[in-house]
Structure 1
Amino acid sequence: MAMKERINENFLNKNRLGSLIDGVFATCMTILVLTIDFPPGLDIKDDIVIANAVMKMIPQILIYFTAFGLLSLFWYLHHSRFECIKRIDKQFIIINVIWLMFIALIPFSTSLSGDYPYLHTAVFVFHINFFILSAFLFLLWFYAVKNNLIDEKIDKKMILANRDIKISMIVVCLLALAFSFISPPLSILVYFLIIPGTQIIKFFNKP
């Protein structure tokens, strides 16, 4: 019985889960650059042709930078809050793996919206992808708090601030989804609201 408990304890090691998460993020963030495609079939005779092609790629490049920035933010939020967790269980691992499955979809949704930035459906897929990521990030924190996976030393205000930050990200994703019906390419800019939103939440939840 003691041996079985020791095996389970070794298997449910949060450092191993953290390594898996880091690996998936590193892979996705690396291949994101492949979503930027230079227009094929151009008769390049001078710099003007290249300049015009690059100008047409601006929406694609903007979506790439947005996706890379958001992935960086998701990694940071998950990694920093992961340090607050004293232990993990099987359910927590399952939620993380499902979350990683949608992380791995980001290069696809970024490529789709980058290729068709003016089409609502393509950009909608991008927003849905990040909405699901935000929802699961909230679910991970909610599950950890509810099932006492959080270190008892963590301040209650910090727990509430983490919850509110994740809720604010869900709200921003919903706003981006709604704005995509008005202007698909400009709806990408809605994500920049996350920066002031998180700072406001941190300010009002100072210990």
Structure 2
Amino acid sequence: MLSLPHHPHKQDFQVERLIFFSDAVFAIAITILVIDLKVPIVSENATEGQFLNEFAKQIPQLLGFVMSFFLIGIYWTAHHNMFGYVINYSKRLLWINLIFLFTIVIMPFTTAIYSEYSVT
């Protein structure tokens, strides 16, 4: 299949689309992290100590969330800095970016597994 080059103005727009798509993936992944955080379930007449006891059981999930949130934030910052130098793109860059974004979107799942089954 023959691929014609984009018009120069459209080329800039295509790079912006790639950046906007990447930013959206980062935003969604960082938001999905919070889904695994649950409010501790205690009875209506539970004491503060009982609540804190139930809350303490969720510390691994909370720590996993905080670590992954900031790790995704660091990756987003690096991605942002790198794409400040991109003036053109290729199919290779699209695929490299897509593979990189895969590692970002899998992070909420791996965080949930680690948080659930880590030894505390």
TM range, smaller chain: 0.7 to 0.9
Identity of aligned residues (%): 29
User: Does the 8 Å CA contact 2:26/2:104 hold for their aligned counterparts?
Assistant: yes
Q: Which residue of 1 aligns with 2:17?
A: 16
Deviation string, structure 1 residues 74-93 (Cα, Å, up to 9, x no partner): 00011011101221111110
List, as ranges, runs of 4+ consecutive aligned residues in structure 1 with deviation greater than 4 Å.
none
Instruction: Tell me the CA shift for residue 7 of structure 1.
Output: 5.7
Match runs of 1:18-167 below 5 Å: 18-38=19-39, 42-43=42-43, 45-118=46-119
Instruction: Tell me the CA shift for residue 38 of structure 1.
Output: 4.1
Q: How many equivalent residue pairs?
A: 115
What amino acid is the match of 1:113? Y
Structure 1 length-normalised TM: 0.50
Q: Which residue of 2 aligns with 1:173?
A: none
Instruction: Tell me the CA shift for residue 37 of structure 1.
Output: 3.0
Q: Which residue of 2 aligns with 1:129?
A: none
Deviation string, structure 1 residues 145-185 (Cα, Å, up to 9, x no partner): xxxxxxxxxxxxxxxxxxxxxxxxxxxxxxxxxxxxxxxx6
What amino acid is the match of 1:35? D
What amino acid is the match of 2:102? M
User: Does the 8 Å CA contact 2:11/2:88 hold for their aligned counterparts?
Assistant: no
Q: 1:26 to 1:101 in 2, by over 3 A?
A: same
User: Does the 8 Å CA contact 2:60/2:118 hold for their aligned counterparts?
Assistant: yes
Deviation string, structure 1 residues 4-28 (Cα, Å, up to 9, x no partner): 3236983682111001100001111
How far apart are the structure 2 equivalents of 1:9 and 1:102? 31
Structure 2: gaps of 5 or more residues: none
Instruction: Tell me the CA shift for residue 43 of structure 1.
Output: 4.2
User: Does the 8 Å CA contact 1:29/1:71 hold for their aligned counterparts?
Assistant: yes
How far apart are the structure 2 equivalents of 1:11 and 1:92? 14
Greater relative contact order, per chain length (Cα 8 Å cut-off, separation 6+): 2
